[in-house]
Amino acid sequence: MARDMGPLPRPSISAEPGTVIPRGRPVTLQCRGPVGVYAFRLEREDRSEHKDNYNVSQASPSESEARFRIDSVSKGNAGRYCCLYKKSTSWSKRSDYLELVVKETSGDTDSPVTEPDSSAGPTQRPSDNSHNEHAPASQGLSAEHLYILIAVSVVFLFCLLLLVLFFLHRQNQIKQ
């Protein structure tokens, strides 16, 4: 069993190339925490959606990180985001909030537009937001998806081998 090492340090969140993004352009939100993190979670302030990322990399000898890419920034995915992480069996506290702002690029408007604040609710959607176009997308495949892909490939190759053996056996029977 893991020993209780006290509260986990809070993660940090940043945005590349920045927090004010022209509408339709991509942005990558970066979550950082201590080494040994199992997964990072990017969460909207209203907790209406979140995205888990198990593709954790080591940013430095003392830090882990995960990246969440939003392919096209819009009013629908602007707003306040925070990170938290899972280490062992515990979730950390939330990071400070990062405000993602959409900069309008058309017409006379050059002031940023953000999503209006929503009241926080206790419910969350499932972590699979693949059906939601506004959900932040992680780069690469998660470990779970990678395992599924490998398992399906192995089963396919096994079936192919059985099919070849069946045809060889059948051809051998025909010759006799």
Q: Would you call 28 helix, strand, or coil by DSSP? A: strand
Is pLDDT above 60 for 144? yes
pLDDT at site 62: 93
CATH number corresponding to 12-103: 2.60.40.10
pTM of the model: 0.58
- As a whole number, mean pLDDT of residues 151-173 equals 92
Q: Would you call 89 helix, strand, or coil by DSSP? A: coil
Residue type, 102: V
CA distances from 65 to 14, 32, 41, 121, 163 (A): 11, 4, 11, 28, 45
Place of tokens 């950390």: 92
Q: Which helix (H) or strand (E) holds 58?
A: strand 57-60
73-132 tens-digit pLDDT: 999 999 999 999 999 889 999 999 999 999 987 653 444 444 333 333 333 333 333 333
Q: Name the range with the highest mean pLDDT among 13-17, 50-54, 166-170.
A: 13-17
- As a whole number, mean pLDDT of residues 56-74 equals 94
Going by C-alpha positions, the residue among 99, 98, 64 that lies closest to residue 83 is 98
Residue 142 pLDDT class (50, 70, 90 cuts): low
Worst-scoring range by mean pLDDT, 18-22, 76-80, 87-91, 133-137? Answer: 133-137
Is pLDDT above 90 for 1? no
